[in-house]
Structure 1
Amino acid sequence: MRTTILITSPEEWTAPGSELFQFAPIIPGGPEWFTKPVLIALLSSVIAIAVCWAAFAKPKIVPRGWQSLGEYAYDFVRDQIARPNLGKDTDRWMGLLLTIFLTVLIWNLMGVIPFIQFPIAAHIAFPAVLAVSVYVIKVYLGVRHHGVRGYLRGVIYLEGLPGWAYGIYAPLILAEVFVTSLFTHFIRLFANMFAGHLLVAFFSSVGFWFLFEQLSPLGAPLGVLGVAVTVLITAFEMFIQFLQAFLFAMLAAMYIASGLHGSH
Structure 2
Amino acid sequence: MGSVSDAMLLAAESGPHLPSVSDFLPPEILFEGTPFAINRIILVRLVATVIMLTVLIITARRAKVIPGRWQAAVEWLLDYIRDNIIYQVMGPIRGRRYVPMITTIFMTVFIFNLCGIIPGMNIAATASVVMPLAFALWVFVQYWRAGIKEHGLGGFLKEELLPAGVPWPIYIILTPVQLLELVLIRPISLTVRLFANMVAGHLLVATCYAFTQFYLIESAGAAVKVGGALWLCGGLVFTCFEMFVAALQAYVFAILATVYINQSYPEAE
Q: Is TM more than 0.5 here? A: yes
With 116-125 and 189-198 compared, the bigger mean Cα shift is at: 116-125
* Residue in structure 2 matching 1:73, options 67, 71, 77: 77
Q: Does 1:123 align with 2:128?
A: yes
Aligned partners of 1:55 and 1:69 also within 8 Å: no
Gaps of 5+ in 2: 1-9
User: Would you say 1:201 and 2:206 are equivalent positions?
Assistant: yes
Among candidates 54, 60, 63, match of residue 59 of structure 1: 63
Match of 2:22 among 19, 23, 36: 19
SS, match of residue 228 in structure 1: helix
1:140 aligns with 2:145: yes
Q: What code does the residue aligned with 1:21 have?
A: F
Shift of 1:167: 2.1
Distance 2:265 2:53 in 1: 28
Matching residue of 2:157: 152
| Alpha carbons 1:82, 1:97 under 8 Å: kept | yes
Deviates more, 1:34-43 or 1:216-225: 216-225
Q: Which moved more, 1:182-191 or 1:31-40?
A: 31-40
| Higher RCO (C-alpha 8 Å, min separation 6) | 2
TM-score (norm 2): 0.86
CA RMSD of aligned residues (A): 2.4
Instruction: Kindly provide the amino acid, as one letter, of the partner of residue 23 in structure 1.
Output: P
The SS at the match of 1:26 is: strand
Contact 1:210 1:219 in 2 (8 A): no
Q: Distance in 2 between matches of 1:244 and 1:217?
A: 39
Deviation at residue 262 of structure 1 after TM alignment: 8.8
Could you tell me which of 112, 136, 141 is aligned with 1:107? 112
d(CA) in 1 for partners of 2:261, 2:174:
23
Alignment correspondent of 1:44: 48
- Cα distance change, pair 118–11 in 1 and its aligned pair in 2 (3 A): closer
Percent identical pairs in the alignment equals: 31
Q: Counterparts of 2:61 and 2:260 in 1: how far apart (Å)?
A: 30
- What is the number of equivalent residue pairs in this alignment? 257
